[in-house]
Amino acid sequence: MAISSITSAQFQQEVLNSPIPVLVEFYATWCGPCKIMAPVLDEIAQAVAGKAKVVKIDVDQEQKIAGRYRVMSIPTMFVFKEGAVTAQWRGVQSKETLIQALTA
């Protein structure tokens, strides 16, 4: 399953109303650590396909939603299950850590 870039307008449907867990990465195109995370997130999306999904939100384009979740540094990642945040990280994380939180 491919990673989707979503907007604030899509957030409710794609994340909060999702029937499966969602890993959300807040990122920016100029962010070095975000570029490091990109292939890791691709691997995660493939590993959890059908059981969970991965989406990205560009903080430069979607400042309102980033502010709502108090994103102060990037990358910041959240796991949402049934519309609620169940895990959160800042900075580069391992594939194993993120998959464990998504599938627990």
Tell me whether residue 31 is one of the annotated catalytic residues. Answer: yes
User: What number of other Cβ atoms are within 10 A of residue 57's Cβ?
Assistant: 26
At 54-78, the pLDDT tens digits run 999 999 999 999 999 999 999 999 9
Which of the residues 34, 54, 65, 74 is marked catalytic? 34
Backbone dihedral angles phi then psi of residue 27, each to the nearest 5 degrees = -145, 175
At 8-32, the pLDDT tens digits run 999 999 999 999 999 999 999 999 9
**Structural domains in the chain, sorted by start:** 4-103 (3.40.30.10)
Which of the residues 1, 31, 47, 87 is marked catalytic? 31
- Cα–Cα distance for residue pair 44/101, rounded to 1 Å: 11
User: What number of other Cβ atoms are within 10 A of residue 60's Cβ?
Assistant: 12
